[in-house]
Copies of this chain bind each other. A is one copy, B any other.
Amino acid sequence: MSLTVVGSVAFDSLETPFGKREKVLGGAATHFSLSAGFFTNVNAVGIVGNDFGKDEWAAFERHNINTEDIEIVEDGKTFFWKGKYEYDMNTAHTLDTQLNVFETFDPKLSDNSKDSRLLFLANIVPMIQKGVREQSNAEFVAMDTMNFWIDSMKDAVIDTINVVDCVIINDAEARQIANEPNVIKAARTILDLGPRAVVIKRGEYGAALFTDNTYFAIPAYPLESVFDPTGAGDTFAGGFMGYLASESVIDEDAMRRAMIFGSVMASFNVEKFGTERVDELSHDEINSRFTDFKRFTHFEEIPFERAQSV
């Protein structure tokens, strides 16, 4: 029942048509672990500077995230990202990126983190992802990546895909990795690289799970307004992996429920800025949207039989 995540811990400055926030808690490992923390014990592995303050650590503490493996660089500054969204919230416009201490990130897992049953490699340099995977004794390892690495070092991305159990990416990334416009074919191509599961995130259109013999797809939770999509993908991955960590067997049935919990967590994440909404979530709210998903997707299976007379 434990899960380790390796990735960025950051400050984000965010602007959407609905408002702005300066230097709020962000980063892939942050969004992931706050989400996963609702389902299991989480170890976060990352790096921050001495500007990372009491309020930021308190968010991890509220969710019982183990931060022992978050390195503090005493004379460094925390990774900073500034982004803006127009009404089309599918595209983030980066206004500023300051890697700061993240540039020297060389994750060393403690024994506790090494022995987690599950491991998530958030979006970082693929060689570092692979190095972390090699340090870990996890039974189930998933990874994310992004267009920047696929553009600049696709072979390294594929080397990492070769050694994980699950890839969790968006549809554009899947198309780019497989060099294939059809997302169904692209997912199958990535499966052929070794993982037992490929999860494709499609934002407002939902998500799909591909395994060797099966296909599972769900719509997104129907939201009348999206406030800030920052971290939605990592929050999805956190719900997905966190739920799986709570299951004794990671099989198709468990992964299908994990897809729903991932979507539920992402649906909350986008309702407020940064980590605000997930930070205040309750288990009842999570289970209520899980039940909604069943209601939104259920139909009675009655094949059509045409009467002879019509």
Contacts and interface: CB of A to CB of B under 8 A. Distances in A.
A194 interface: no
Question: How many identical subunits does the complex contain?
Answer: 2
Contacts of A306: 38-39, 246, 283
Contacts of A124: none
B40 A260 contact: no
Given A223-B184, A261-B304, A253 B299 contact: yes
A307 B182 CA distance: 42
A181 B87 contact: yes
Interface string A15-43: 00000000000000000000000111100
B219 A219 contact: yes
Interface string A218-246: 11001111100000000000000001001
Contact of A208 (B183, B219, B287, B298): B219
Given A1-B310, A185-B224, A219-B218, A287 B299 contact: no
Q: Which of A38, A296, A307 has the most CB of B within 10 A?
A: A296
B206 A219 contact: yes
B287 A304 contact: yes
B206 A217 contact: yes
Given A39-B304, A183-B204, A217-B222, 14 more contacts: A39-B306, A87-B181, A182-B225, A182-B226, A206-B219, A208-B222, A214-B295, A215-B222, A215-B296, A218-B297, A256-B300, A261-B304, A283-B306, A287-B303
